[in-house]
Copies of this chain bind each other. A is one copy, B any other.
Amino acid sequence: MARERRVFTGRLIRTFRQVRPALQLIIGGISVLILLAALLERLVEPAVFTSFGLSLWWAVVTVATVGYGDVVPVSPVGRSVAIVVMLFGMAWVPTVTTLVVTALTRSPEEDDVRHAALTQKLDEVSARLERLEQSRGGD
């Protein structure tokens, strides 16, 4: 039991190592999006987003889909920026899941190659046996 758990933990660590570059890209992308959205909202709606700190706070609350509602854009342009941030928040979970599942599973293409290799080897064995039988029949 303790050994099985160690193997399981080892696989988790290896998977995270493989997923890391893609994960860094996604986290980096969301960070840039948050900074950009905060900057845009500060410029577009200075009356609501009275400081860059408040803009940043709003962007994180939005991308995490928490949405307290303490700061909310009211102009069409400000809301359009907010919609982009929300869509990224929505896409976050399935994207990360996709990454991990892709890293964890053997690709169907690789399975095809392996199955073909085993089939070919078995066909060779069969052909050899047929030759043996025929040479016996010809005794």
Contact between B115 and A114, CB atoms less than 8 A apart: yes
Bound form: Cα–Cα A21–B2 in Å = 11
The interface residues of chain B lying within 8 Å CB-to-CB of A98 are 12, 15, 97, 100
The answer to whether A32 has its CB under 8 Å from any CB of chain B is no
Min CB–CB distance A102 → chain B (angstroms): 6
What are 16 of the A-B contact pairs (CB < 8 Å)?
A: A8-B102, A12-B102, A60-B83, A62-B66, A66-B86, A66-B89, A68-B68, A101-B104, A102-B104, A105-B108, A115-B118, A118-B119, A121-B123, A131-B133, A132-B132, A132-B136
What is the interface of chain A, defined by CB distance below 8 A to chain B? 4-5, 8, 11-12, 15, 18, 21-22, 53, 57, 60-70, 72, 76, 79, 83, 86-87, 89-90, 92-94, 96-108, 111, 114-115, 117-119, 121-126, 128-133, 135-136
